[in-house]
Amino acid sequence: MNFPEILEKRRAVNYFDPERDVEQQLLKKIVEQAAKAPSSYNLQPWKLKVVRDKERKQALRALAFDQPKVTEAPVILILLADREGWKLEKSTVENVFNDFVESGKMQAEQKEWFAGVTQGLYGRDEMAAQAFANKNTGLFAMSLMYAATANGLESHPMDGFDHEAVRKEFNIPDNYWIPMLIAIGYLKPGTQVPPKGWRESFEDMIIE
């Protein structure tokens, strides 16, 4: 499937086949493909909670406006945007810096400078930290949905849920914001997916 086909086929479907599971190896493949998404300084400030258990999905559905797809889809991903994902003590940031050194992009003695740059750009205040986490996790989320489509699956991003209740129910630390839930699975047999809706044209989107 080429990229124009992925763009056309990717839909936010509402009806998943509850009898057809997504194999763990396929889910792993999709997540690892999505992780190639761009991020600020390659810091990748995102994490996932994978919800497969029926009882846990039922608990999540109760906090997500009782949307049936939460329990019908075999996999629900809770996306987590790390507002502290710029801090040097994070293992991801440490790994990124070490990779920069190994690839020759930076020198080992630049570690303190690198910490200062990331703090200045992304940790200077609460708004900057929130924007950093959200923007980068949004890029990852879109890549997740494209990867799902490319691998024969359907998806649906959801922001209709009680953020704080989900945080409490799933023991999510305070440094994470929850941008969305993503349902992943196979289309329910017999479901008719309508054509894509209206989109703005190039001319509509450009502001002079």
CATH code: domain of residue 43: 3.40.109.10
> Is 121 among the domain residues?
no
pLDDT of residue 185: 98
Residue in 41, 46, 37, 49 with CA at minimum distance from that of residue 133: 46
pLDDT of residue 122: 98
Query: Which residues pair with residue 156 across a beta bridge?
Result: 183
> Is 59 among the domain residues?
yes
Below-50 pLDDT ranges, the chain: none
Residue 92 tokens, joined: 């991801």
pLDDT of residue 142: 98
> Is 17 among the domain residues?
yes
> Is 90 among the domain residues?
no
| Domain span including residue 163 | 3-83+133-192
pLDDT of residue 74: 98
Number of domains making up the chain: 1
3-state secondary structure of 182: strand
